[in-house]
Homo-oligomer: A and B are copies of this chain.
Amino acid sequence: MAGTKNQLFMGNFIHSKTREELEYLINTAVCVDAKGVIVAVERGCDRETAERTLYPRLGWKAGEVDVNVCGDGDFFFPGFIDTHLHASQYPNVGIFGKSTLLDWLNTYTFPLEAKLGDEKLARRVYTAVVRKTLSHGTTTACYYATRHVGSTNVLADLCLELGQRALVGRVCMDEASMCPDFYRDESPEWALEATKACIAHIKGIDPDYARVKPVITPRFAPSCTSQVMRLMGALQKEMDLPVQTHISENTSEIALVKSLFPESKHYTDVYDTHGLLTEKTILAHGVHLSEEEATLISERKAKVSHCPSSNSSITSGAARVRWLWDKGIEVGLGTDMSGGYSPSVLENARQANLVSRHVAMGIPDGEEKERTKLTVDEVLYLATRGGANVVGMEDKIGAFEVGKEFDAIQVGLGAIDEEGILRGEGNVDIFGWENWEEKVAKWLFNGDDRNCKKVWVKGVLVHERK
């Protein structure tokens, strides 16, 4: 799947200039070549000017260019990056009762994941999840599948087929005391071979990992033997692939890790001593990390996926994003379905804003309390550029810049007419006097998939609202 023609995108573009600040490129022209790469970004440029000044520079001819113009009230935004979600758990979203992590795994999660060994069922569930997340503007997703090779490969196939950029991981889990008999890797060696089989499959369907990439996925320390973690660490070194796992989500889990790995200094040390704490490692959660652990993560340049909806809904805790940033750690957002209830990165940006306020509530009045709160601009950075850093694609995605690939959402907002009637759909109601900053705030707080009118990955249209 690749763009076949050069494309001109015209209209308003909004993206993160820095972590603190969105940039508003109003009436701008963005040229995207047939490979999906942005080759020009020109402000204050109408179509005629684009054709007169940009096309010759690019060697383009007007008749051969596809033109996409967004309306005055619409804007293009970089596609969202979901840095942590379990595709296999999608059917369980919203279902967790009063459970917390460890009982939630046994009650809801393992039984469902085990069923997805059935590839027909896996295809059904994964089709739903890829389509659903695309419809919410997720152009890149970092997936946990299940421990099954066949079903994991189905997920990779579907991402390629439906056009989503993805990291796809077979879940590695072989620790008998933690994984149920019906859902456990047979041995560390079996786990290694199974993981290699998934990597080979993805290499087969997308040799340059241009769209789909494997990710080494030891579920989390309690599910894994020391042997398997060592094998995965060695595999990472050998193949230079990304790694994803969970860390420090819940206090009971931390106590469990302490009891399972008594020789380790702390949870982070478990991964570090098994060769799993690398520059390419994505650590989901990181809610209860100690100063020492955060310093080590920062030194290793490992990344954190912040999953606010999940952390609130299964009462894990409130992660301190500002504190992680202060430590020099890169952070992105994860929906963490189905610990998280929502397929939407936008919902998680909203929740990141709210959770940071809950963190602030615990801090005495003053400057520290104020700066703990994440702004609208900052949570949208987390959803895009922050996520790009986390998945190691900061050179490719996350903003509208020459040299990056065009992963984008066309956002449309509703308008309230003079009679008070909504024109358009969704819950972002624009009265007409709002400035761009206010429109974006309204979108953050009330936006949903209805505001994602079109979605592109690498310049290819992969979703359009009917």
Contact = CB atoms under 8 A, between A and B. Distances in A.
Interface stretch (A18-26, A68-76, A121-129, A401-409): A121-129
Interface in A335-372: 341-344, 353-354, 357-358, 360-362, 365, 370
A199 to B, nearest CB: 25
A420 B124 contact: yes
Nearest to A416: B128
Contact of A420 (B123, B361, B375): B123
A209 interface: no
A431 interface: yes
A354 B94 contact: no
Contact of A98 (B317, B373, B419): B373
Given A313-B354, A370-B98, A416 B448 contact: no
A422 interface: yes
Contacts of A256: none
Copy total for this chain = 2
A448 B344 CA distance: 13
Interface residues of A, number: 59
Contact of A418 (B94, B124, B318, B365): B124
Interface string A306-334: 00000011010110000000000000000
Interface in A425-443: 427-429, 431, 433-434, 438, 441-443
A371 to B, nearest CB: 9
A445 interface: yes
A420 B357 contact: no
A93 interface: yes
Nearest to A91: B431
Nearest to A125: B420
Interface string A284-297: 00000000000000
A124 B433 CA distance: 14
A445 B128 contact: no
B341 A446 contact: yes
A375 B418 CA distance: 42
A333 to B, nearest CB: 16
Contacts of A90: 429
Interface string A371-403: 001011000000000000000000000000000
Contacts of A362: 362
7 contacts: A94-B444, A124-B431, A127-B419, A127-B420, A343-B446, A344-B427, A427-B449
Given A93-B445, A342-B427, A344-B427, 4 more contacts: A97-B376, A124-B419, A131-B422, A312-B357
